[in-house]
A = this chain, B = another copy of it.
Amino acid sequence: MKEIQKVRYDGYSYVEGGVCAAKGFRANGLYSGIKENPKKKPDLCLVFSDVPCHAAGVFTQNKVQAAPVTVSKKHLKQTGGKAQAFILNSKNANACNPDGEEKSVRMCQLAAEKLGIPTEQVLIAQTGVIGQTMPIEPVEQHMDALVEGLSHKGNEKAAVAIMTTDTVKKEVAVTFAIGGKICCVGGMGKGSGMICPNMATTLNVITTDCAISSEMLQKALDAVVKVTYNCLYIDGDQSTNDTCAVMANGLCGNTLIDRENEDFQTFKQALYIVMSNITKMLAKDGEGATKLLECNVSGAKTEKDALAVAKSVIASDLLKCAMFGEDANVGRIACAIGNANADFDIGKFCVTLASSKGEIDFFKNGSILTFSEEAASRLLSDDEIQIHVTLGDGPAKGTAWGCDLTYEYVKINGDYRT
């Protein structure tokens, strides 16, 4: 069961449609044969807005950046934050290739020519094996079909085309009111290994019909990425290809958001809802995962301290294994708390674990409490586990998400290329 429990937010309604949920967006995905694949899983997709969009992006902080990252950054700079199309592929990361940039630009060109828009208004993201030559022929051969098949119902095909070792597609969309207009923010993402905080994570496309300036869009994206994708930890490897871009076409007719007013906050909250849900989906479908882990830290001096502790807990391989084994080896949580690069009084931390099957206090003021092994096993038998840590040092909070570490993770990554 890889479906997540979605939190409800007042004033926001979940809707179907992913990247096509907002007005004026169409998408398509197909199998082009970038890598031969008997199952013909789609590997190429396109998201297109009927009108030019304000756009913003965040990218991997890995020093080794794949060609599509370089090209998308360049395009956003050249246009001053505008885009009308986003092309993505799986099955090849186009990273560490001598001719990589040329190929990424060529993909944008092919799409632009067929769509009748400038090349620099096309963003690109690619994912797959690093250090394999990107074949351009499949893209050339399928561009006509890709563009001609663009549809308001193409979101699912697009979401499937970016999947790598993901076992389920990831799409979320919400509607909300802004100045009397009904707006929409929708998105899709893919995981599911080489995922670590301090980044822009994985491939993600967010679309909205809200009118918002590129500058404000970037500001909202930066703020939300910090508390969503950057709080996601699967395995500590930050990919060379991480890309998250938002395109806003303004078709919902609201007054342009060009400063941090109330409308900006309303929009930012919608972006948070979409991105936090995708983050949880990415965590729950982490490579080999059987459980979603969520660590909520409160009582920290600063948000930075709270996030450092939450991430340290979520990143512990030993805890991840114990959660897979449904073993209440909670000393590993104390160990991970102590390893966090954060400022707090070590004598005051309390730890409670919770799931739909129960809730147990394990640590109080830094010392272990006695607990029932039976109740602990029951609690841990669920597929979503919350780890609540209170530090007793201040008012700040933070949450990080991850998953358990399983045989399947090792299996997938022992022969990912084959």
Contact = CB atoms under 8 A, between A and B. Distances in A.
Given A321-B409, A407-B411, A410-B407, A329 B129 contact: yes
Contacts of A65: 338
A64 B334 contact: yes
Nearest to A324: B414
Given A240-B338, A335-B62, A406 B410 contact: yes
A80 interface: no
A316 B237 contact: yes
Contacts of A93: 331
A287 B145 CA distance: 51
Interface string A110-131: 0000000000000000000111
A29 interface: no
Nearest to A335: B240
A131 B322 contact: no
A97 interface: yes
A324 B238 CA distance: 20
A289 to B, nearest CB: 12
Interface stretch (A136-144, A220-228, A363-371): A363-371
Given A329-B417, A363-B96, A318 B193 contact: yes
A317 interface: yes
Given A235-B318, A317-B236, A325-B415, A62 B409 contact: no
Contacts of A338: 62-65, 240
A226 to B, nearest CB: 19
A418 to B, nearest CB: 7
Contact of A339 (B63, B132, B317, B344): B63
Contacts of A316: 236-237
B235 A413 contact: no
Contacts of A412: 321
A330 interface: yes
A235 B367 CA distance: 24
A68 to B, nearest CB: 15
Given A240-B338, A316-B237, A332 B368 contact: no
A416 interface: yes
A334 B129 CA distance: 12
Interface residues of A, number: 62
A321 to B, nearest CB: 3
Contacts of A394: none
A222 to B, nearest CB: 21
Contacts of A367: 96-98
Contacts of A129: 329, 331
A212 interface: no
Contact of A331 (B95, B193, B196, B418): B95
Contacts of A328: 417
A336 interface: yes
Nearest to A366: B96
Contacts of A409: 317, 321, 410
Interface in A83-99: 93, 95-98
Nearest to A329: B417
A405 interface: yes
A83 to B, nearest CB: 26
A327 interface: yes
Contacts of A281: none
Interface in A368-395: 368
Given A317-B413, A337-B64, A96 B331 contact: yes
A67 to B, nearest CB: 11
Given A97-B368, A235-B317, A317-B409, 4 more contacts: A96-B366, A98-B367, A196-B339, A321-B410
